[in-house]
């Protein structure tokens, strides 16, 4: 099994996009890319921790290609908006790919270039950074839309 990590706005909608993709992945909502150890949702929401709401995905590389995960990522948000997705505004809602190895980095960079041609003249602002420590979010955030229903700002 391998891990992939994506930030694309509110993690509820991002998680649902991956769960609904038919790829058979496991997901965990959490926080990545920040400076504070063990951040809480309340702390991340201030925008002062540097974290992005992130979905960490566990997948079997024998049946799921990383490129397929990247396709879901690009389709579930607007990568040309800085620190914003729909009504959610702040650095915690930025677009980011947190890679776990050089192969993922190379594929992510290539996919960004490919996506950029589709969004021209708008510039893609997605960060591509090494996956540092991932902190799972509080239990009530996990599979939130499946448990509670409601609309996602991603669709």
- The Cα 49–Cα 8 span in angstroms is 17
Q: Please state, in angstroms and rounded to a whole number, the distance separating the CA atoms of residues 145 and 136.
A: 17
The verdict on whether 10 is a catalytic residue reads yes
Instruction: Walk across the sheet containing 2-8 and list its strands.
Output: 127-130, 95-99, 2-8, 52-59, 26-32, 135-136
Which entry of 10, 29, 45, 76 is annotated as an active-site residue? 10
Instruction: Give residue for tokens 């990522």.
Output: 73
Sign of the torsion formed by the C-alpha atoms of 122, 125, 46 and 4: positive
Active site residues: 10
């Amino acid at each position: 099994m391998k891990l992939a990590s994506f930030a694309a706005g509110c993690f509820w909608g991002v998680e649902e996009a991956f769960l609904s993709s038919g790829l058979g992945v496991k997901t965990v909502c959490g926080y990545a890319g920040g400076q504070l150890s063990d951040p809480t949702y309340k702390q991340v929401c201030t925008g002062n921790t540097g974290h992005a709401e992130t979905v960490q995905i566990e997948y079997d590389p024998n049946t799921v290609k990383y490129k397929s995960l990247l396709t879901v990522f690009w389709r579930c948000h607007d990568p040309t908006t800085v620190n914003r997705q729909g009504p959610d505004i702040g650095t915690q809602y930025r677009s980011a790919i947190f890679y776990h190895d050089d192969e993922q980095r190379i594929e992510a960079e290539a996919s960004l270039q490919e996506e950029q041609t589709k969004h021209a003249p708008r510039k893609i602002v997605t960060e591509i950074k090494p996956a540092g420590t991932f902190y799972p979010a509080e239990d009530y955030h996990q599979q939130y839309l499946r448990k509670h229903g409601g609309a996602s700002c991603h669709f």
